[in-house]
Amino acid sequence: MFRCLARLLTLILCLCLWCGAAPGADAAPANSDDPVAEVARVFLTQRAQALDGTVTVTVAPATATLPPCPAPRAFLPGQGQPLAGRVTVGIRCQDSGATVRYRRARVSVSGDYWVTARALDAGTVIGADMLEQRHGDLAGLPDQALTRRDQLLGLETRRPLAAGVVPQSHQLRRPPLIERRQPVTLVAGGEGFRITREGRALDEAGLGGQVRVRLPDRQVVTARVTGPGEARVQY
């Protein structure tokens, strides 16, 4: 009888200790003892300040137990790696072997962007009433998304766009001021003089775009569109 009671008391004590320890295990911060993660977080936060919106950086925990990394310095490996979305950060350790480590992170940028308020046909010049503002993570948008309204107004759709989509740069263009086979006035000049010649466009182009123009002598020159039916030769 005495032995059974002792076993029962021991079991109750073990259950109490297990229940009391469980909450403390969940409360421990994931990166409280991870200086490499903190260096990566600060580095990405500083680099992402140029992005429009509120930046949040989350660094993934290390996948293996590694020795300490003295004086860690962060860098972005590779060329042209985006600063938003999923990012890989390089960490150089100032140890005798100049160790380099890599950590995964996600940079979220919360801000405003614009979507089509209704379906748009190809060849539609975008006006203010055709756009609707949204708020969310800009890092989740397509790479070529145009997020500011001033980037979109006055552009022409190259293809039909459904309602509620974020327009991308390859889907839009400046409305052509010069059409193919259209007569074009070429302007060239400098300080105190101006020369004009007439030709015919071989391409179509919008304001600021380049167009090839064939002259009456069959010579072809490239010029920059400055207005309807007019382009300037660059020297």
Pinpoint the residues of the chain covered by CATH 2.30.30.760.
Answer: 176-233
Any idea which residue has 């015919």 for tokens?
200
Would you call 108 helix, strand, or coil by DSSP?
A: strand
Average pLDDT of the chain to the nearest whole number: 83
pLDDT of residue 235: 63
Output the pTM of the full model: 0.59
Calculate mean pLDDT across residues 50-64: 86
Any idea which residue has 């009456």 for tokens?
216
- Yes or no: is domain 176-233 CATH 2.30.30.760? yes
Domain boundaries 110-173, corresponding CATH code: 3.90.1210.10
Query: What Å distances lie between residue 194 and 74, 161, 186, 188, 197, CA to CA?
Result: 55, 43, 10, 6, 10
pLDDT-based confidence at residue 224 (cuts at 50, 70, 90): very high
Q: What is the pLDDT of residues 132-168, one digit of tens each?
A: 999 998 888 888 899 999 999 999 999 999 999 999 9
Q: Please state which of the ranges 4-8, 68-72, 107-111, 187-191 shows the lowest mean pLDDT.
A: 4-8
Pinpoint the residues of the chain covered by CATH 3.90.1210.10.
Answer: 110-173
Residue 11 has pLDDT above 70, yes or no: no
pLDDT of residue 47: 85
Calculate mean pLDDT across residues 67-71: 90
Q: What is the pLDDT of residues 12-30, one digit of tens each?
A: 434 343 333 333 322 223 3
Phi, psi at residue 181, to the nearest 5°? 70, 5
Q: What is the dihedral of CA 170, 172, 174, 179, to 10 degrees?
A: 90
User: Do the Cβ atoms of 215 and 199 come closer than 8 Å?
Assistant: yes
